[in-house]
Chains A and B, each alone.
Chain A
Amino acid sequence: MRVSKGDIFERVFVNEPEVGLKIEQEAGSRVKIVVVNFAPGTNRITVEQLGEGCETEIYALAYLHHDEAVTTETHVKHAVGGGTSNQLIKFVLDDQSRGRFIGDLKIVKDAQQTEAHQTNRNLLLSEEAEMRTQPQLEIYADDVKATHGASTGQLDESALFYMQQRGIDKQKARQLLVNAFMKDVLNTISDEALREQLLNAIDGVVE
C-alpha cells in the first residue's frame, strides 16, 4: 500500500497471529505501526520512504509464556533523505517461550540528512526462554544520524529485593517490573481507549 503525500497512516495490531504490511511513503507522510502480541504471532513490516521528510514509527511488544513464539521482522528503507524512522521492539519471554527480531535498516547513498533509530530490548524471565536478535544496518549515506542498540537481560534483582523489603510479595514485585518494562511501548498507542484497556490488562495481572 501507498501513503500519499502528507498523509498520516496509523495502525495498531493486538494479538494478530500474522501481520504482513508493505508500505511505501510519499513525501511528508507519517506512518505509525504498533504491534502487540500476548500470544504467538509472526510480524513482517516493510516500509520504504520514497519522498522527502517522511516519518516512520514502529513499536512492537511481545509478552510470551509456555512454548509460545513470536517473530518480528522490520525492513525500513530510506530511499530519499530528510526522513526519520524510530523503532522500539521489546520482548518479554517467560517459561520456554522464544522471540526473534530481525531488523533491517537501510539508508541509500543519496538519502542524506536521515535520522534513524532502532532499539531492541528483551527481558528473559526464565532460563529456558530464548531470544534471537539480528539487526542489520546498511548505511551508505554519510550525513545521517543513525543509532541502534540491542540488549537482553533479566529482572533487576536489587529492585526486586527493594520491593520485597517494603512488603511486596516477590511474584507481585516481578510483575510490577515486567509491566514497567512494557509500558513505554503501550504508551505509544494514540487511541486512548485502547491504550488504557491494554495498560489495565497488564496491571490487572497485579491487582
Chain B
Amino acid sequence: MVNNLLVIKDLHASIGGKEILKGVNLVINEGEVHAIMGPNGAGKSTLSAVLTGHPAYEVTSGEVWLKGENLLAMEPEVRARAGVFLSFQYPVEIPGVSMTNFMRTALNEKRAYEGKEPLSAKEFLGLMREKKQLLELPDKLNNRSVNEGFSGGEKKKNEIFQMAMLEPCLAILDETDSGLDIDALRIVAEGVNRLKTPQNASIVITHYQRLLDYIVPDFVHVLADGKIVKTGDKTLALELEEKGYEGLQG
C-alpha cells in the first residue's frame, strides 16, 4: 500500500505582493526521492520556504497536507517537530550558541513533541559522535558556535549531520550541492543515502544534474515560472543537462 507523505494542491504563494508560486501540485509518497529542477527564479527556493513556514512568504491559496495534517496551519517549529527538515542553501551562522546546546535543544523539543523523555547528556553526546562519523565531521565542531567560521563544505555537511540527528520524515535539500567540491559532495550524498528509509522521503532541489548522479531520484520535476511543467524519471535530468531548460518549454 502506498502512503501519501506530502500532498501539495494548487499552491500559490507570494513575497512582497509578487506571486512566485502559481499553482504547484505534487504528491510525495513514503520512500520516494523527488528532484525539483528549474531555472533561476522559477520558485524552487520559494517552495522550500513555504513548506517550512518562512514568515516572509504568504500563501495566497492552495493546500499542503503532511501525513494527513494541515501543514500550512502549523508554526515553523511544529512543522519541524512533525518531521519536515530543510537543509538550507545558506546555513545561518549563530555566534555564541554552541552546536551541542543548539542540537540538544532541538532534539529534545522533537522528543517532547513525540511524547518521549529527553535524552541524558551521555546518550546525547553518544548520538552526536555516532552521527558525526557519518558525515566525517571533526569532534571539535561540538564546541564551536553553530556554523560560525565553518567552510562552505562544513556548513553543508553540518546540515546533513543535523538531519541525521533529527531523523525527519521529509527532508528538503535546497541546493545542497552548491559550493561543494567533489569530495564534500560525495560525503554529503552518501550521508543522505544512508539516511533513506522506506518511511521517509526527500525533495532534492537543484539547478544541476551533478548531484543526481549521487542521490538518484525516483521522479524529476521541472519547475518553471511557479508551476511544475514537466515530470519524468531520472533520465529527464540528463535530458535537461543536454538541452537546457529552454528546450523544454515547447
Chain A interface residues toward B at CB < 8 A = 156-159, 161-170, 172-173, 176-177, 179-181, 183-184, 206
Contact = CB atoms under 8 A, between A and B. Distances in A.
B136 to A, nearest CB: 21
Interface in B130-151: 145-146
A183 B77 CA distance: 25
Contact of A168 (B85, B88, B105): B105
A183 B95 CA distance: 10
Nearest to A181: B96
Interface string B44-69: 00000000111100000000000000
Interface string B89-100: 001111111000
Contact of B75 (A159, A164, A176, A177): A164
A163 B94 contact: yes
Interface centre among A158, A164, A172, A179 (most CB of B within 10 A): A164
A96 B5 CA distance: 46
B54 A161 contact: yes
A170 B54 CA distance: 13
A165 B81 contact: no
B55 A166 contact: no
A166 B102 contact: yes
B92 A168 contact: no
Contacts of A156: 92, 94
Contacts of A158: 92
Nearest to A203: B101
B166 interface: yes
Given A167-B106, A176-B101, 11 more contacts: A156-B94, A163-B94, A165-B88, A167-B80, A167-B113, A167-B166, A168-B102, A172-B105, A176-B105, A177-B96, A183-B96
B106 A166 contact: yes
A165 B91 contact: no
Contacts of B105: 168, 172, 176, 206
B114 to A, nearest CB: 11
Contacts of A177: 94, 96-97
A157 B55 CA distance: 10
A32 to B, nearest CB: 22
A184 B96 contact: yes
B19 interface: no
Contacts of B97: 176-177, 179-180
A184 B92 CA distance: 20
B89 to A, nearest CB: 12
